[in-house]
Amino acid sequence: MIKPELKPLNPVNPGYATLLLKGWKGGTEGVEISILRNQDSLYLDSRGGWVSGEMFLGLPALSLVDEVPAVQVGPSFIDPLLANRQAAYRITIKDSATRDVGILAITDGLLSSQAGGENPLAENSQTLDVTPLAQPEPVVDAPATETVVDVPAAPASRKAPVAIILAIIALLLAAAAAGWWFMRTPAGADAPAPAPVAAPVAKISGPCGDDLMNSGNAMEFVKGCLRSQPSSAQLLDVIAKAKADKKCDVAQRLYAYKAQSGDSQMAMRYAQEYDPKSAQAEGCFSPDPQTASYWYEAVVNQDPQNAEAKARLAELKK
């Protein structure tokens, strides 16, 4: 039996990892794997989705990492696995002469691509094919083989109708409770921290302005805004506006760029977006203790005296 393991790159690059295939006795070329999720017996397909029939994904030639066969993988492989951290995954691996199985171990510290902004493609990393399915429903009746290609793919996001209805109900309840929210007594010291950015923001103009955000390409807007070198306070206003307008990719990229560039204030706010204690319900960022820990740790590395970041990091690692 093999012992497959996903490990973060060094240095960590959100959305990318090394897949180690410990115990694999087969060859290094023509290797294929299938990934079975235990909760619903679905298989990972080449587009980051889950289907009913077994799908074998072709790997490039394996290399050796500390004498263990390995390959680097990217977001369309990593994100679907991290989207459900309670699930277990069985990997079947085969080549023309050998076949084996094992349970995938996911090492602590592995982060989805949502934890980073414009992450450069890691050298030799592999992501899954993003060519649209020929059929409208991703249901496969017989085993198939698909080739892993070097094209980054965004994680698929599917919401059942029931989830949408529940979200609408939650919004209605939130509106009904608005009066209580604004009239309530401020929370005590032990209450959850407030959401990072929630107040309405006045109209913004210039390279980071509302008009450009709403009319242009998100990537081009982010680049143009950052080229104008806004202060952290100004950028937080832009992020607040992007979140309010549900332009989550803009908010996420601005956060990630500044946090990765060494801005400890922005890294702290970014960590709070993912911290279960302060994350906003129905917002652009979902609670994710591992991602929050990553950014709190970045804050502590830059500012060892930051007591709040140290306390939250210690709590999340319990």
pLDDT, one tens digit per residue, over 140-152 is 334 444 444 333 3
Domains and CATH numbers, the chain: 3-147 (no CATH), 194-316 (1.25.40)
DSSP letter assigned to residue 188 = -
Closest CA to 257 of 226, 220, 288: 226
- What's residue 205's pLDDT? 66
- What's residue 131's pLDDT? 28
User: Which segments of the chain have a pLDDT < 70?
Assistant: 86, 115-203, 205, 216
- What's residue 172's pLDDT? 57
Residue 313's contacts (CB-CB under 8 Å, 6 or more residues apart) are 293, 296, 297, 300
**How big, in percent rounded to 5, are the helix, strand and coil portions of the chain?**
35, 20, 45
- What's residue 149's pLDDT? 36
* Distance between CA atoms of residues 290 and 316, nearest Å: 8
Tokens standing for residue 21? 């295939």
- What's residue 186's pLDDT? 43
